[in-house]
Structure 1
């Protein structure tokens, strides 16, 4: 079927879909979910069956394709690799997706059983007549599927491999696998019932200051609203406090007697980031992540709470105003990193840091907060510890590492 119809557009990675809105493209993807939906045509009131499929590739784990052809929809089942020809990239309610046209076609390249039994893509590609670019993309998608645990879950589930879902009772404890599990979407993370470490991609939505408990501070529990206000003096107070730099516990009524992260069980007291909830989302769901001091330091560009607190105190002593907009700070103050000391405001800021040309960590920290809470075009990568013994509000999902992935396809 694929050979009978020509290509009216390039074969693209899903991460490049935003550059092809309104264009016809070819997609080589892995099918995760397939859902038939009945639609009513407004003009004739005639019902029509369409199929929404959730797909992914090695550059983006989640993407939606609307299939309007009944015969194509019946060919699509979860756990297969397909080549979709001549589909159109559209934006519907600010969400990118693909939709089939009259000249669209589909070819199933690999079934679930093939993905389980084959060790590499060479075995799967030997019988296929594909061009060089398509073969390369196919190899990347197969490698991504076979090294992503939740993708293989869809393969086993649809292929009838029931043994993988049966847990055999043991009288010993298996050693923990230090390698985190790659997860396709937040929905899959929320469905986990075992304690483990997972890696997934998502966007940052909001920072929820869970340590604020009184009614007066309710409106400041969401940091985005606080950052929009001219008076930002409480941000540092809301996010930083005295506590243990080893275990990240604040010195309040819940402060533990012993430190679980120190070999001698003694707390190391200093300025830390208060535990807060980071709300992240993808196109499937939203999840709150508990963020403690060490993970917060990584999230804020390796700027520790001690650095922010010390710089803030120096600025307060010298009565130096904080820039109202992070664009103003970037344009006027970051130039001091290059050694330009000719401007008076820069001299004042250097005086606030002990007279030396040191980075203004409090100002940079505010800039990073605003950037993190801005609408992002690309998802971040989160490594999260899942503790089945806790509920969501008390740290069932705790952030460990935070990365900003760089897709080569976006650069070249």
Structure 2
């Protein structure tokens, strides 16, 4: 925060939020999760963005606050301790939440990396330029955050010990991070995380680009995506995962001249999975992972986009030919279209229906929270923002049924 913001309400504990419905308050709390959220104004057609954060303090472990997306809110990660100024408490869906307004402000008092260990916390709190009452609350929240992180880490390692459905090679001594620890990584590296998949975000779908909002797929909205193959699959390079037709910020069609994954710098064209995001979560938080073509193939149990597209197109052609054959028979026309359609159907039925298998796989992934977590290998690029692919999926290990 660059300037001084006047307070239009008291600094309160989260447990006291019910006593301030309709009014402005100041909140000092630790971030548990960050949930990027986009909405569209149906009247004007303009898109406005909000970031929903789940925070907690020493009096209440979970409370949601919605912020207008800005440079400050986009840098907030799980584990940060925030001073949320001039937040209105409102009733929402039979509960309470905090909402930012034009007079609101957000200040990061302690970064998540500052709270990795208790050493030096007292000095950081003392040097914070806040009032005595705010500093007292900051100390309580910092101690609560440290205690919570330790408890999560212990229960997390216990979970790893009692899990029985991992392959033998995964039981080798490998260090796994919590998502809250992953978010604080500041160096380029590959890390391992145990987590579950919460939702899929199609960041390059036609819905996303032309209508101004992300296309989000979870287990509740999967049925609404009738043309899901087009959302996921397009022509592009099988090696680097670059779509053949992608649009720049200025509306121009762009395609990389050289392939970074080929020593000869040549693209290998075919059907690929478009880059998309998966939101993965554990007990400590949630993070979006960028998924490119090769990682998507691993995610979908080695089902390649070519096979899905071929089965989908064959099925559509079969339906069209069956429909045309029916019309021909109705009008009295006699030809061998029906026989050809039957023969083609028999040929298709002899091959695995990769399209159907792929759809079932997506449904299983989105219902995976009820099962054991996956082991994700993640590439960290600290030069990118979290929403732009700072964390990219490299591979994952599937649990054994």
TM-score (norm 2): 0.49
Higher relative contact order (CA 8 A, sep 6+): 2
TM-score (norm 1): 0.48
